[in-house]
A and B are shown apart, each in its own frame.
Chain A
Amino acid sequence: MSNPLEILLLDDEAIVGKRLKPAIEKINCNVEVFQDPQLAVERINEKEFDIVVTDIYMDDMDGMQVLDIVLKKSSRTKVIMITGYAMISLARDAMEKGAFDFIAKPFKPDELRVVIAKAAKALGSSVDLNTLLKKQER
């Protein structure tokens, strides 16, 4: 079993963090949740995360800026964009800027977990979704 993945989750909707934190922790990840992009950026500057999940439209700063900052800090970090304002042009912009993937709201916790697993694989790490799925079946 590899070290847990370090994940930062940024969304100005409080419920997103509240629900996704336990969901992701179940697949052996450490999750830090932020609602305020400024605080999140400060934390990113302090610590290198494996994966950053960020919303795009937020009041003070948008997800695209966060994406730039993360990639500048550490190019190996996988950035997953989530947004309610899902438009093809926006997704394309994000992908061109180097985002790992793009998830449109509303999504199920599993959709994010699958993308995280993919990102983990790309990082040379692995996330075991099977145990979780089995658990759900049980």
Chain B
Amino acid sequence: MPKTGPVISEALENENDSRETSKAGYEHMGDIRKAQKELLSRRHFSVKNQIYLGNSLLFLAAMIMVIVLIINNDRVNNRLKFLEFVDDFSSEILQARRYEKNFFLYGTNLNDAIENIHLAESIFITESEQFSELLKGQRDRQKIFAKIGVYKSLLQQLYQHEQQEKKGLHTTPFAKKIGLKLRDYGKDILATSNAMINIEKKAIEKTLSHSRYIHISSFLALLAFLLINTSLLVSRIYSTLNRYATYARRIAAGDFRLIYPRRKFRDEFTDLAVAFNEMIKEIDTRENILIQTHKMKAVGTLTSGIAHELNNPLNNIMLTAHMILEDYHDLSDEERIDMLKDVAVETDRSKKIIRNLLDFARESKSTMESLDLSKLVADTLHLLENQIRFSGIGVDLQFMENFPKINGDVQKLQQVFVNLLLNAIDASTKGNKIQVIGRLGDTSESVKVSVIDHGQGIPKQIQSSIFDPFFTTKVKGQGTGLGLSVSHGIIAKHGGSIKVESEEGSGSCFTITFPIINFPGINTFTF
């Protein structure tokens, strides 16, 4: 599983910090409470809130864009209306000028010209107020207004003269003088309105292109916002789910390290972490019960051997005591002392035999410590001496010199070796040899211990199930089917692994690999 690589290396880094304090391996209720408290004491920021927040921000952004677009649209509309107004105005002026020309050519239409200039003036008065902004302020308006006023008054002057002189006015020098002025003003007004039209046209074009720009950019901005929002959400959910898949795989493999806070806030996944920790606690408790149950079974097996072994020192004591009683008066002081010393030594021997078994049987609080596997295996063999002697099997112990120490729980590991050796004894027949070999592992950071028997072997088809709980090949009542499963669990807690190689008829080899330095502490799952 290459995916778990970084997580594991991260875990190992944490380990180096926590190794000092990780002496409690199995029963760690206090740690669980601490982990749960740490998980829950962070600021709450749920996935639900992130979704709500993201959507609200998205809505807000969309709203701002719509408002900007509406404003821009209004502006275009306004300009178009203004254009219409200028156009109306300019066409009235044009008409007035046309009649003005007619007057100077034929002496007609002066009334019409005045009417048109009136219309133009009234358009300008009513509408210009509305577009004051577009007319560049009051001064420009006043200017145009003044020009229209002059034009109108010139026309009115002509009209007054026409009323007095009747016909032929348009040919008089007076009329010609006014005509020149009228032409200048008319041109000026038209040019101004044309200029306004041009400016407005450009302005409208600009506003329209501006509107296009706003459309495109707001679309792109929305897209970007959606992308960021979605990717934030997805990465948060996806990476967390991935991490949980890793945790689940590790728990399934027997690694019961707790989950500790990793982020600065808590959310729905925190509830999951809390539930995981609860589950780990439950599984751990149950496994410990299972380990202890199976240990009692092993103790039962060992007890008959121990009871028999006790008979030897007891016999020595009994014989000595009776001989002291029988010969008390005939014995010299030295002989009596010698015999009593024998009694003392033999009682001590009895005590040790019982102590060995009791040490093994005791349900003590587990502690992880630096230990010498070769000594542990030798002690275990001592515990099994009677079973080995009964079955007439030889045991060959080969540990390489300066065997590296490992970190572990003496009691639990002894249980593992008791299980493996009892299995090996069961599988062997009289005269067979069992080999226990300790050597360096495939990497320099691990050691391997193999328990090899030359017994009946394990059929290929059941090799994959032998570590399953309650799987047994023994007759009903003989085996619990827990030995290898419990051993597997214990080894997993030590960060090690156990493998079997076996061939039917020629024996089995169980190999345990232990890490030399690193073993899972309890503070190494982080979340």
Contact = CB atoms under 8 A, between A and B. Distances in A.
Interface of A: 13, 15-16, 18-20, 22-23, 57, 62, 84-86, 104-110, 136
B315 A105 contact: yes
A105 B319 CA distance: 10
Given A16-B316, A106-B317, A136 B311 contact: no
B308 interface: yes
Contact of B389 (A57, A105, A106): A57
A15 B342 contact: yes
A109 B316 contact: no
A107 B326 contact: no
A23 B315 CA distance: 15
Given A106-B318, A109-B319, A23 B311 contact: no
Contacts of B312: 13, 84, 105
Interface in B309-356: 309-312, 314-320, 322-323, 326-327, 339, 342, 346
Contact of A106 (B314, B323, B339): B314
B318 A107 contact: yes
Contacts of B342: 15, 18
Contacts of A85: 308, 311, 386, 389-390
B315 A106 contact: yes
B318 to A, nearest CB: 4
B381 to A, nearest CB: 14
Given A57-B389, A85-B308, A105-B311, A15 B316 contact: yes
A19 B308 contact: no
Contact of B327 (A13, A16, A18, A22): A22
A110 B314 CA distance: 16
A107 B318 CA distance: 7
B318 A108 contact: yes
A103 B390 CA distance: 18
Contacts of A23: 319, 323, 326
**Secondary structure type dominating chain B contacts:** helix
A15 B319 contact: yes
A22 B311 CA distance: 22
Most buried by B among A18, A19, A23: A19
Contact of B326 (A18, A106, A109): A109
A84 B318 contact: no
Contacts of A108: 318-319, 322
A117 to B, nearest CB: 16
Contact of B316 (A13, A57, A62): A13
A16 B315 contact: yes
Contact of B319 (A19, A57, A84, A86): A19
A111 to B, nearest CB: 10
A62 B391 CA distance: 12
Contact of B323 (A105, A107, A109): A109
Nearest to B392: A62
A99 B390 CA distance: 20
A57 B323 CA distance: 24
A80 to B, nearest CB: 14
B315 A107 contact: yes
Interface string B290-321: 00000000000000000011111011111110
A15 B346 contact: yes
A136 B308 contact: no
A105 B346 contact: no
A105 B316 CA distance: 9
B192 to A, nearest CB: 131
A84 B326 contact: no
A57 B67 CA distance: 102
Given A104-B311, A106-B319, A136-B326, 19 more contacts: A13-B315, A16-B316, A18-B342, A19-B319, A22-B323, A23-B323, A57-B389, A57-B390, A84-B308, A84-B315, A85-B308, A85-B311, A85-B390, A105-B311, A105-B312, A105-B314, A105-B315, A106-B315, A107-B319
Contact of A109 (B310, B322, B392): B322
A22 B309 CA distance: 25
A108 B315 CA distance: 8
Contacts of B314: 105-106
Contacts of A20: 319
B212 to A, nearest CB: 103
Most buried by A among B310, B312, B314: B312
Contacts of A16: 315-316, 319
Nearest to B305: A85
A105 B314 CA distance: 8
